[in-house]
């Protein structure tokens, strides 16, 4: 089992540019989660899909952030007009079912200059 795959591992954008982060969950897992990790805020929940349907996006900044899961094998997190405060490690996790243990990918370190 390859585990959760995230690409790219590192991304550097200029202020105002767009960033798209990719996540491939563990095969057979029906739930996909996105979290953000910073030194100041710690680990924060962003959004969650179950069987590709968006279930909870309560942690997503209302402007500029969007997430999709077009098929069971990948999810994307898109940040439009990136700002320096978006700099963080973005973590994707998947679980077999809701409420089961979540397995995390290696993360994408986003740096906005």
Residue ranges that bind other proteins, judged by CB under 8 A:
31, 33, 35, 42-45, 48, 50, 55-56, 58-59, 91, 93, 98-99, 101-107
**C-beta of 9 vs 78, nearer to other proteins:** 9
Let me know: does 105 contact 6? Beta carbons within 8 Å. Answer: yes
| Least gap, CB of 50 to other proteins (angstroms) | 8
| Least gap, CB of 69 to other proteins (angstroms) | 15
- Cβ contacts of residue 46 below 8 Å, gap of 6+? 33, 34, 35, 36, 57, 59, 60, 65, 67, 77, 90
In three-state secondary structure terms, 84 is helix
**C-beta of 27 vs 83, nearer to other proteins:** 27
């Amino acid at each position: 089992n390859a585990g959760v795959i995230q690409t790219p591992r590192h991304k550097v954008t200029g202020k105002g540019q767009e960033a798209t982060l990719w996540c491939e969950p563990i095969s057979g897992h029906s739930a996909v989660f996105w979290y953000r990790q910073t030194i100041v805020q710690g680990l924060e929940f962003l959004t969650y899909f179950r069987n590709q349907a968006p279930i909870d996006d309560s942690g997503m900044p209302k402007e500029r952030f969007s997430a999709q899961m077009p098929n069971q094998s990948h999810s994307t997190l898109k940040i439009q007009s990136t700002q320096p405060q978006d700099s963080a490690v973005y973590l994707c996790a998947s679980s077999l079912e809701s409420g089961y243990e979540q397995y995390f990918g290696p993360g994408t370190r986003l740096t906005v200059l």
